[in-house]
């Protein structure tokens, strides 16, 4: 392995720091017109022809030639078989992770979102009613990003919210069937992560994903993917029930399809490349920080790993750790490309300045690798998740600490939040105006409605006034 990772070294005291910093942060979700056109036509086809279109797309893009939709449906016994086939350590890890995620989200549910009302002095009742969504769809990628942890992070909050039905879609492309780049589904699974545990549909199924479906609980599941799966969930077909919301990550085709069906159904978010920002005061072993940067960089060449630290010697030590540890990493090439292309080691004047810079970045993952993390936490306004102290590696949060690992990327933490129980609930306002209340409110409403030129609004209020 000859990969070499030399993340850009910056200092906030450099005269051109602002420009170089802005350039490094820049990432733009440019829409690919070719992808958009293909997605639009797939959506229209599934909307019109339903199951027939889904079968055609699945044959064309995934090389999976099914005689009927029934052949594309997974059974609960498939999940059970997959789970039973795992080594005990994996079974235990999946169950423990799901249990911890469930506990956190049950706590989160109690933090808010209960139905509640109150009466004001006129006897008018006001409040909000909180109800779970009826049915949601979870997209699980089948390609190189086939993560059972992602299924847990999407399905468990839906369950805790009380969603009645969870429909999973997961492409199981036939091995070698995917034309490079041209497909609307991800490339076939690679290496150890894949195994054919069932050849009925001749597709590649990931046993860990199926086992996670057993642990997390999925109502129905279909081995379909790409824009056709999003369309089937959004519009419904004879076989696939229409859902109220679609969550879960996917490739560019899936992201484009989700953006198109937004409004017909709810969606979670359109994620950009993953990011980590480490704020270090120099007290954490440099190897730990180097590995935390790697653990983000290994996701994707576009992933971004940044270190902010007021101690130049410590930054040198982290770079030395990077140099020493990189050759050991199986994904060294991806890590090197990510660190060279988008990484940065930034020397700041102080921890305070580092916190201020972090707020400008609004990172998805923010590690406060300090002996005194609670000193800095109050200064941090924008981040998807904040990992406090040297023992809190991002990877613990990714799998099993409890909070959700689906987080806002690309600075969207300035206005959005981690996936949560609340994303699987919705509120209805409750209003009951008493006769006395109607006398008071009616006069106000009448004046304002006349002012807006809406006379029927005014009359409706005035009719409730006593003569």
Active site includes 364? yes
Which residue in 204, 364, 367, 394 is the catalytic one?
Answer: 364
Q: Tell me whether residue 260 is annotated as binding.
A: no
Q: Which is nearer to a copy of itself, 202 or 258 (CB)?
A: 258
Q: How many whole angstroms from its chain centre is CA 245?
A: 13
Q: Which is nearer to a copy of itself, 9 or 47 (CB)?
A: 47
Q: Which is nearer to a copy of itself, 66 or 157 (CB)?
A: 157
Which residue in 275, 365, 367, 394 is the catalytic one?
Answer: 365
> Which 3 state secondary structure label does DSSP give 247?
strand
Neighbours of 320 (CB within 10 A): 13
Q: Which is nearer to a copy of itself, 69 or 140 (CB)?
A: 140
Q: Which is nearer to a copy of itself, 13 or 192 (CB)?
A: 192
Q: How far is the CB of 72 from a copy of itself (least distance, A)?
A: 25
Strands 165-169 and 135-139: parallel
Q: How far is the CB of 75 from a copy of itself (least distance, A)?
A: 23
Q: Tell me whether residue 251 is annotated as binding.
A: yes
Task: Give the C-alpha separation, 19 to 406, whole Å.
Answer: 30
Task: Give the C-alpha separation, 303 to 272, whole Å.
Answer: 9
> Which 3 state secondary structure label does DSSP give 341?
helix
Q: Which is nearer to a copy of itself, 60 or 109 (CB)?
A: 109
Active site includes 450? no
Beta carbons within 8 Å of 114's beta carbon, 6+ residues apart: 130
Q: How far is CA 413 from CA 328, 343, 358, 402, in A?
A: 33, 19, 11, 19
Q: Tell me whether residue 405 is annotated as binding.
A: no
Two tokens, residue 232: 């089937």
Q: How far is the CB of 206 from a copy of itself (least distance, A)?
A: 10
- Beta-strand (E) ranges in 223-348? 245-247, 266-267, 275-280, 304-309, 344-347
CB-based contact 14:25 (threshold 8 Å): no
Q: How far is the CB of 170 from a copy of itself (least distance, A)?
A: 15
Q: How far is the CB of 412 from a copy of itself (least distance, A)?
A: 7
Q: How far is the CB of 226 from a copy of itself (least distance, A)?
A: 21
Q: How far is CA 215 from CA 12, 82, 97, 155, 329, in A?
A: 48, 11, 10, 10, 30
CB-based contact 163:135 (threshold 8 Å): yes
Task: Give the C-alpha separation, 246 to 146, whole Å.
Answer: 17
Q: Tell me whether residue 374 is annotated as binding.
A: no
Q: Tell me whether residue 457 is annotated as binding.
A: yes
Q: Tell me whether residue 159 is annotated as binding.
A: no
Strand partners of residue 265? 262
Neighbours of 466 (CB within 10 A): 8
Q: Tell me whether residue 108 is annotated as binding.
A: no
Task: Give the C-alpha separation, 393 to 383, whole Å.
Answer: 16
Q: Tell me whether residue 37 is annotated as binding.
A: no
Q: Which residues are catalytic?
A: 364-365
Q: Which positions make up the binding site for substrate? A: 274, 296, 299, 365, 398, 452, 457
Binding site membership for NAD(+): which residues? 139, 228, 251
| Binding site, annotated residues for Zn(2+) | 296, 299, 398, 457
């Amino acid at each position: 392995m000859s990969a070499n990772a030399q993340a850009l070294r910056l200092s906030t005291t450099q005269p051109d720091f602002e420009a170089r910093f802005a350039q490094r942060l820049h990432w733009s979700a440019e829409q690919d017109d070719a992808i958009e056109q293909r997605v639009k036509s797939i959506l229209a086809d599934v909307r019109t022809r339903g199951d027939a279109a889904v079968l055609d797309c699945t044959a064309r893009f995934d090389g999976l030639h099914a005689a009927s939709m029934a052949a594309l449906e997974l059974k609960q016994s498939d999940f059970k078989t997959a789970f039973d086939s795992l080594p005990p350590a994996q079974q235990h890890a999946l169950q423990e992770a799901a249990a911890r995620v469930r506990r956190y989200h049950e706590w989160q549910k109690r933090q808010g979102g209960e139905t509640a009302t109150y009466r004001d002095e006129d006897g008018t009742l006001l409040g909000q009613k909180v109800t779970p969504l009826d049915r949601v769809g979870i997209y699980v990628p089948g390609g190189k990003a086939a993560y059972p942890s992602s299924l847990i992070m999407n399905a468990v909050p839906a369950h805790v919210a009380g969603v009645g039905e969870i429909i999973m879609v997961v492409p199981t492309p036939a091995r070698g069937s995917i034309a490079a780049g041209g497909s609307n589904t991800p490339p076939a699974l690679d290496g150890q992560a894949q195994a054919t545990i069932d050849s009925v549909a001749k597709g590649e199924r990931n046993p860990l994903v199926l086992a996670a479906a057993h642990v997390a609980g999925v109502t129905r599941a279909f081995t379909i993917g790409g824009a056709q799966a999003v369309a089937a969930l959004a519009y419904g077909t004879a076989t696939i029930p229409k859902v109220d919301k679609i969550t879960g990550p996917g490739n560019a085709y899936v992201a484009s399809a989700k953006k198109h069906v937004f409004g017909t159904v709810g969606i979670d978010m359109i994620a950009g490349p993953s990011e980590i920002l480490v704020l270090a005061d120099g007290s954490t072993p440099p190897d730990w920080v180097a590995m935390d940067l790697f653990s983000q960089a290994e996701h994707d060449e576009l992933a971004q790993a940044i270190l902010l630290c007021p101690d130049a010697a410590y930054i040198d030590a982290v770079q030395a750790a990077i140099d020493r540890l990189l050759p050991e990493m199986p994904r060294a090439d991806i890590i090197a490309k990510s660190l060279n292309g988008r990484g940065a080691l930034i020397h700041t004047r102080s921890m305070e300045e580092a916190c201020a810079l972090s707020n400008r970045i609004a990172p998805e993952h923010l590690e406060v690798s300090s002996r005194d993390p609670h000193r800095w936490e109050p200064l941090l306004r924008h981040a998807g998740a904040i990992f406090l102290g040297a023992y809190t590696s991002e990877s613990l949060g990714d799998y099993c600490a409890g909070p959700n690992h689906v987080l806002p990327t690309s600075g969207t933490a300035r206005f959005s939040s981690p996936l949560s129980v609340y994303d699987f609930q919705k509120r209805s306002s409750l209003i009951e105006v008493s006769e006395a209340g109607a006398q008071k409110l009616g006069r106000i409403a009448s004046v304002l409605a006349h002012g807006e030129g809406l006379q029927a609004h005014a009359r409706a209020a005035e009719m409730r006034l006593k003569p």
